Amino acid sequence: MDCTPYPFHKLPFSDLFCSYIRQEDSLSPFFSANPFNEESIREYSDGFRFAGDRETSVELLRDFQEQFGARQPTYDQIDRLADPEAVAIVTGQQLMIYGGPLFTIYKTITAILYARRWEVLLGRPVIPVFWLADEDHDFPEAAKLGVLTNSDFQTLELAGDDLDVPVGRRLLGDDFERFRAELFDLLPETDFSEPLKGVLDRFYKKGVSFRQAFGSLMLHLFGSEGLVLAGSDTPEIKQAVLNPLLNSAEKHREVFQRLEGQSRDLEASGYHRQAVVQSSNLFFLDETGGRQKLDVENTTWSTGNGESWSSPELIKQISETPERFSPNVFLRPLVQDRLLPTLAYVGGPGEIAYYAQMKALYSGMDQQMPVILPRFSASLIEPAIDRILEKLPFEAGDFQNRIEDLESAYIEKVDRLDVETLFTDWKEQVSTITSKKVEQIKTIDPTLSTAADKAGTLFENELNQLKGKVYKSMKREEEIQLNRIRRIKENLFPDNGLQERSVGFLCYMNKYGPDIWNRLLELLEDQTPDTHKLIRL
């Protein structure tokens, strides 16, 4: 493996994200610290105070790991969290089938590596934590898996009902065996295929929840690095994070004003808002387990299915049954940071944009907004792709363009031989020479002039045949190159998107072995996520 930096601005990343990477002054009011500046991190660390109850959190985290078969390094890290000086670097995402795309790995590796680095930098325990977004209910997204085969990119989708049940609670059902069979049929057969199937089949099987399967796989891959898992969808944890849930209801007008005010300031600074600010940041879990959006008008709260409460009634119900309430995208980080002493959150471009709207909300909830650390971003370049990439007049980022535009650009870029001019000139020279030679032969024997003319005609016919062969050879070479363009694009930008957002990470485990992520950890150990990485396998 080797790693080459590549600028974010040459890839499809937002202006906000690119500005954040450059740490432009226009964004500094929206964040708490510069993640690339050691002095800024030290200063933030010195002023960090955990808003939750550390002893309770440690106990809940130990209990939470049991369902995933956690090993001793994970429990050792949880014990270290009991230290009043200990902090966490947190990342997380929705519980996607078979672990989801490559960015799952990049997020986790970033958290692990920066926990190591900042422990040395700060002289305090720093623990990597993966937050299982077990309350999100976007099942269509969680049920998709992108697969790179030997010939193309395909997306598999697990069937499911349209209930808004939190994905973490969903069980792998009747359609799972069909999904599994299709996946293993698509994956190229390698020396690593059977061991990979064995690993996946240990965790993903009918009747197992998405949360248990995803979490177990993550600890299988990174448990030896001391990765800790966390989530919020248990009654005990909901009780521990009650404060932000209550505040969201009690201060809903202030919460709205703070979020909306900062979002407008963000737009005034020339950036986009990632999400629309709503009157409420809570969901209600109904009797079926469905996650219903709570809306508030004046002092009346209601769901789409007809349930309603006055503000005092809602606050009372949250206090008594917090497990029935669920945070939205803005409230979830505050719930997370009430359970964990979050020094930093590792996020992708979209998450960083969410956080850009949130600093005022944190201060309104009497919590500290963590340092927002960009995750590593990378494109894995396989040896076969690297070889043909060198034969084309493009750089890696060019392949984000439409295939038609790439093909047109290739035709314009290549130094194509002007076949017509070459053979026209050749024929003219042959004709001139032939005419002179025929006249010379006539002086020797006039009866041979016809044979001489015929020789000239035969030579011209040979040139015509050769021209046809040259055209055919050029067409074949052109088609080879155009096929290479299509193959590279499908590998680096499948479905016209970034590889890291589309391709299931298990595809690379299948080709390059189960230790590929350990090798990636080593490769990125001294890197920073301030550029995209082109990683040649």
pTM greater than 0.85 (yes/no): yes
- The rounded distance, in Å, linking the Cα atoms of 194 and 335 is 40
- Taking the mean position of all CA atoms in its chain, how far away is CA 308? 38
Q: How far is CA 85 from CA 56, 75, 123, 431, 441, in A?
A: 16, 18, 9, 92, 105
Question: Under a CB-based contact definition with an 8 Å cutoff, are residues 343 and 48 in contact?
Answer: yes
What pLDDT shows up at residue 463? 63
Mean pLDDT of 114-136: 97
Does residue 471 have a pLDDT over 60? Answer: no
* CA–CA distances in Å: residue 47 to residues 38, 369, 386: 14, 12, 47
DSSP helix/strand/coil, 537: coil
Where does the pLDDT of residue 88 fall: very low under 50, low under 70, confident under 90, or very high at 90 and above? very high
Nearest to 510 by CA among 230, 232, 184: 184
Using 50, 70 and 90 to split pLDDT, how confident is the model at 162?
A: confident
431-465 pLDDT, tens digit each: 788 788 778 888 887 887 788 778 777 877 776 77
Question: How far apart are alpha carbons 76 and 226 in whole angstroms?
Answer: 7
Give the pLDDT band of residue 75 (cuts 50, 70, 90). very high
Q: Among positive and negative, which fits the CA dihedral 353, 282, 104, 100?
A: negative
Q: What is the CA radius of gyration of the chain?
A: 31
Per-residue pLDDT at 87 exceeds 60: yes
What's at 419, amino acid-wise?
V
At residue 445, the pLDDT reads: 78
Beta bridge partners of 283: 293, 326
What is the average pLDDT score of the chain?
93
| Mean pLDDT on 173-177 | 94
**pLDDT band, residue 419 (cuts 50/70/90):** low
CA–CA separation, 510 and 190 (whole Å): 7
Q: CB pairs under 8 A, 24+ apart, for 140-145?
A: 141/94, 141/96, 142/94, 142/95, 142/96, 142/97, 142/100, 142/167, 142/210, 143/97, 144/96, 144/97, 145/96, 145/97, 145/98, 145/100, 145/183, 145/504
Q: CA 351 → CA 15, 273, 330, 459, distances in Å? A: 14, 11, 10, 70
Q: Give me the mean pLDDT over the 318-332 stretch.
A: 96
pLDDT of residue 63: 98
Determine the average pLDDT of the residues in 208-232.
98
Q: Is residue 417 predicted with pLDDT exceeding 60?
A: no
Burial class (CB in 10 A: 0-12, 13-18, 19+), 480: exposed
pLDDT the model gives residue 472: 66
Query: Between the CA of residue 226 and those of 49, 71, 481, what are the distances in Å?
Result: 23, 9, 46
Could you give the CA distance from residue 466 to residue 462 in angstroms, rounded to a whole number?
Answer: 6
The number of CA neighbours under 13 Å toward the Cβ of 512 is 17
Tens digit of each residue's pLDDT (9 = 90 or more) over 353-379 = 999 999 999 999 999 999 999 999 999
Q: What percent of the chain has pLDDT over 90?
A: 81
Handedness of CA 449, 453, 455, 456 (dihedral sign): positive
**What are the distances in angstroms from CA 412 to CA 394, 415, 483?**
12, 8, 17
CB 346 within 8 A of CB 110: yes
Torsion of CA 142, 89, 535, 153, to 10 degrees: 0
